[in-house]
Amino acid sequence: MHKIENYIGGEMVTPASGEYFDNIEPATGEAYSLIPDSDGRDVNLATDAAKLAFPAWSATPPEERFAILMRLVSLIERDLEPLALAESKDNGKPVSLARSVDIPRAAANFRFYATAAMHLANESHETFGIGGVHAINYTLRQPVGVAGCISPWNLPLYLFTWKIAPAIAAGCTVVAKPSEVTPMTAHLLSKLCIEAGLPPGVLNIVHGTGPKVGSAIVAHKDIKAISFTGGTATGEEIARVAAPMFKKLSLELGGKNPNIIFADCNYDEMLATTVRSSFSNQGEICLCGSRIFVERPHYDQFKRDFVERVSSLKVGDPNDPATDVGAIVSKQHFEKILSYVDLAKTEGGRILTGGSIASVSSSVPSVVPTATTENTDADTEIIVRKLNGYFIEPTVIEGLAHDCRTNQEEIFGPVVTIMPFDTEEEVIAHANSVRYGLAATLWTENLSRAHRISSKLESGIVWVNCWMLRDLRTPFGGVKDSGIGREGGFEALKFFTEEKNVCVRM
Ligand code: NAD
């Protein structure tokens, strides 16, 4: 079975323990590669490599960093197909989604930050003090040093590079950990970094579990900033360790996003987008709307049309271009989602469609990359697969109270609830009633109402008459238990730097 390796000091290395654990393909439920079971020793090695690389990398002109990162962009684009196939196999997502969203976005992340670093400017302030004192203050913005980047499984390469790209572009060196549930494309990226000529030690990737590798990164005294995306409980644990060490922290955490639909919306547009915003990537996107509030005059029509559309979604082989909903990422997560469907029933919910395990058979032969990009033709094989993995029917539930657990806790799967509402005040209160505040979606043609409600929603992001329309310059992040800090734009570059004010008396 193919072995994934750590990427430390510019080389592919085996973990200190010499141990590996299985990487499971969600569509089949079977192991198909091996993941290094790394630990603190590997994190120490990676941090040493990053420290060694830091003086030269931080002094490398942004134009040179730009050139190297743009070579990486070209290589990701060259390998779009094997990377998309690998992402789909590793995560269970439809390959069409990996091809159109995940991998292009990974390239876009590097492109965006390669250029952004050349546009980051520092402030200066001319000062006139008492007694005719005249001075000029200027701000130096210096890379923090070694940064730790830890990412989740739902958008593996997309979110991994969303952290690494600004860190490296800002002049930091990095110790990064992808999710142990979906490590393959991070592994492929390490090979591309070598091919692109990224200097050894600038990026180090340590594979393994959160408790062994993630926590060692967070606790390492020489890692000065932690950029984390994942669950709220993990974010709490990270903050507990990192805050007393005065590390810079960016935490992008869970969500339970409201989707608010007024009767005056563009109905067809709303319906098509709401199907997407509910079930894209099996509902495993932190921005998916999982609580759908519909203004009462539209409720029955919406319920009928939505259920009809959702029940016609094709749950299938991730490798089939016609598949809308692929496999849930892991057995553990599959069981968690099903337990929430059971919980919803005990809380009085009515399942309008879905609610069960979906049976899926392989409809197309699979082309499976075996984790190398040097010669993609030689490293692919055609096999026919039995799909005994983790498939759940897209599920719509009604009749639940706003404060029940199903409506309050993050499920992060293909499960949504629908509820009618009568007034703006009522729906704002219900939308804000959860501990999370990541994203909200609002459908109305009434411009004043759109502005009014947007300003009142407790949410880091509000989409009005759209969803997932991303502009990489915009601040991205959540409020309340959805996290602290913002990614995107210059915010992320600034996160990976420290400001120093220099005051020069004239
Ligand atoms: P998770 O918190 O279980 O794991 C995320 C990463 O943290 C993994 O790499 C994991 O190995 C690591 N980790 C686990 N324990 C750790 C510890 N003690 N110290 C350091 N690292 C540790 O999350 P997940 O299940 O991989 O991802 C799903 C969650 O991510 C959901 O809650 C989802 O909402 C959230 N998410 C948020 C955003 C966002 O932008 N806000 C985006 C995507 C996913």
Residue 286 appears among annotated catalytic residues: yes
φ, ψ at 415 (rounded to 5°): -135, 120
Q: Which residue has the tokens 């159109």?
A: 100
Catalytic site residue from 252, 295, 393, 398: 252
Of all protein residues, whose CA lies closest to atom 23 belonging to ligand 1?
A: 230
**Alpha-carbon distance 132 to 365, whole Å?**
80
**For ligand 1, is residue 154 a contact (CB within 6 Å)?**
yes
> Cα(76) to centroid of ligand 1, in Å?
24
The residue among 325, 336, 493, 479 whose CA lies nearest residue 406 is 336
3-state secondary structure of 318: coil
CATH level 2 (architecture), domain 257-357+392-474: 3-Layer(aba) Sandwich (3.40)
In this prediction, residue 378 carries a pLDDT of 46
- Check residue 266 and give its pLDDT: 98
The Å distance, Cα 254 to ligand 1 centre, comes to: 8
Distance CA 244, CA 436 (A): 24
Give the pLDDT confidence score for residue 1 in this predicted structure.
87
Q: Is the CB of 253 under 6 A from ligand 1?
A: yes
Q: Phi and psi (nearest 5°) for 385?
A: -115, 145
pLDDT digits 0-9 by tens, 335-368:
999 999 999 999 999 999 999 999 998 866 655 5
Q: Where are the alpha helices (DSSP H) in 393-486?
A: 405-408, 424-431, 447-456
Q: Which ligand 1 atom minimizes the distance to the CA of 482?
A: 41
164 touches ligand 1 (CB under 6 Å): no
Cα 48 to chain center, whole Å? 27
- Non-local (6+) Cβ contacts of 105 within 8 A are 155, 158, 161
The owner of tokens 């082989």 is 317
Taking the domains of the chain in order of start, what are their residue ranges? 2-253+483-505, 257-357+392-474
Q: Which residues pair with 497 in a beta bridge?
A: 143
Both tokens of 193, joined, read: 């970094």
Collapsing DSSP to helix, strand or coil, 27 comes out as: coil
Q: Is the CB of residue 409 below 6 angstroms from any atom belonging to ligand 1?
A: no
What is the CATH architecture of 2-253+483-505? 3-Layer(aba) Sandwich (3.40)
Residue owning the nearest CA to atom 9 of ligand 1: 179
Residue with tokens 């010499």: 18
Task: Output the pLDDT for position 132.
Answer: 94
pLDDT of residue 366: 57
Q: Are 337 and 292 in contact (CB under 8 A)?
A: no
Q: pTM for the complete prediction?
A: 0.96
If you measure from the C-alpha of residue 229 to the centroid of ligand 1, how many angstroms do you get, rounded to a whole number? 5
Q: Which residues of the chain have pLDDT under 70?
A: 363-385
What's the pLDDT score for residue 385? 65
Unique residue bearing structure tokens 């089949």: 28
Q: Is 424 a catalytic residue?
A: no
User: Atom 11 (ligand 1): residue with closest C-alpha?
Assistant: 210
Between the CA of 290 and the centroid of ligand 1 the distance, in Å, is: 19
